[in-house]
Structure 1
Amino acid sequence: MRKRDLEEIRKKLVLDRERILGNARKTMDNITNPNLDDLNDEGDVASSETDQTINLRLRDREAMLLSKIEKTLKKFEEGTFGVCESCGEDISVMRLKARPVASLCIRCKQEMEKIEKGYAD
């Protein structure tokens, strides 16, 4: 993989990590310091609670992604970024640019999905 491609992917991961951490900080600020002046009636309170629940669910999903990002950045440090965790072959640059946290090459990912689908049927 070209050095320029590696740096582009690493930068994207770092920016995604910062965005997720920023979102988490905003959510925590909104939860710990709610603007109660804007909540005029029970409907507003219920709507606010629903919004908070949705935001917390989104943060949960982002927390899982953040974990994958951290793991991927560690692979950069170790020199193992872009290597399929299943077969040991290189993951295509196109796949890594589309999904930088990918840990499996397309072939292994498809095999895994076939197995998972078989269990679901």
Structure 2
Amino acid sequence: MPSQNNLSLLAQAGLAPYTEKPGEEYMSDAQLAHFKTILETWRNNLREEVDRTKNHMQDEAANFPDPVDRAAQEEEFALELRTRDRERKLIKKIEKTLQLIEDEDFGYCVTCGIEIGIRRLEARPTADQCIDCKTLSEIKEKQSGR
């Protein structure tokens, strides 16, 4: 089942969760188009947020004489910039995923090569590993202390 966040993303893109047709081949043209729309909508929304932040910071930037007010504003801006930095990295990942769609390599685990699955991809459209490989990867990461 898609996450609540991605359900709103599907709604923004004017899409319902994908319903596979009987006998439909995995990553058919219709499925690829569905995920391309989701990813492009997500990327566009993130880019709009970047623009809003930039405008907000330009409009709200003030040189407060009170150090407490200045510190509060700087903290607010720092938080916004951290959020935008995470989103910038996500935009890169979305663009990488869109390229996989163009190359017709989307939907398959980069580790073992099996199908990732429609439901997992709707929950996390940038997923590049099946759930088993991702789980194993996270366990290894925890054990190595990264």
Report TM bin, short chain: 0.7 to 0.9
Alignment match, 2:53: 27
Partner of 1:57: 82
Question: Which of structure 1's runs of 4+ aligned residues deviate more than 4 A?
Answer: none
Q: Does 1:15 align with 2:41?
A: yes
TM-superposed CA distance for 1:35, in Å, is: 5.0
Deviation at 1:90, TM superposition (A): 1.2
Match status 1:36 vs 2:62: yes
TM (normalized to structure 1)? Answer: 0.86
Q: Deviations over 1:70-115 (max 9, x none)?
A: 0000001000010111111111111001000001011111111121
Which residue of structure 1 aligns with residue 94 of structure 2? 69
Q: Which one scores higher on RCO, CA 8 angstroms, separation ≥ 6? A: 2
What secondary structure does 1:84 align onto? Answer: coil
How many Å separate the matches in 2 of 1:90 and 1:77? 17
CA separation of 1:120/1:35 partners in 2, compared to 1, >3 Å: closer, same or farther? closer
Determine which structure has the larger helix proportion and give its number.
1
Name the aligned partner's letter for residue 29 of structure 1.
Answer: N
Matches within 5 A, 1:37-116: 41-116=66-141
RMSD over aligned Cα, in angstroms? 2.1
- Report the alpha carbon displacement of residue 45 of structure 1 after superposing the two structures with TM: 2.5
Per the TM alignment, residue 36 of structure 1 is displaced from its structure 2 partner at its CA by 3.2
Aligned: 1:117 with 2:131: no
Structure 2: which 5+ runs fail to align?
Answer: 1-25
Sequence identity, in percent? Answer: 34
Partner of 1:90, secondary structure, is coil
Report the count of equivalent residues.
120
Normalising to structure 2: TM-score of the pair? 0.73
1:5 aligns with 2:61: no
